[in-house]
Amino acid sequence: MQCPICKKPVDENEIGKPGSTFPFCSDRCRLIDLGRWLTGKYQIPADEDEAETSVSDPAADEPRGTRGTRGT
């Protein structure tokens, strides 16, 4: 197996051992990967139309002209 960051070979026998950095070859590569996650480099691009419709606003589901008239 290869390290996902630097592509050096990684020993798969390290899985589950204390202090193991698997699937990375070193702490350095593990921290590079963590930094990429924290800065959003691994984001999945979203289509703007999907992003707008995924917002959960209960008032957005009501037909026009009926906002604020529930229960009256």
The string of pLDDT tens digits covering residues 31-70 is 999 999 999 998 888 877 765 655 565 665 566 665 666 6
What are the extents of the domains in the chain? 1-42
Show the tokens assigned to 62: 């009501």
> pTM for the complete prediction?
0.57
Output the pLDDT for position 72. 56
Strands of 1-72, DSSP E = none
Beta bridge pairs of residue 9: 2
Output the pLDDT for position 58. 60
What distance in Å separates the CA atoms of residue 34 and residue 43, rounded to the nearest whole number?
13
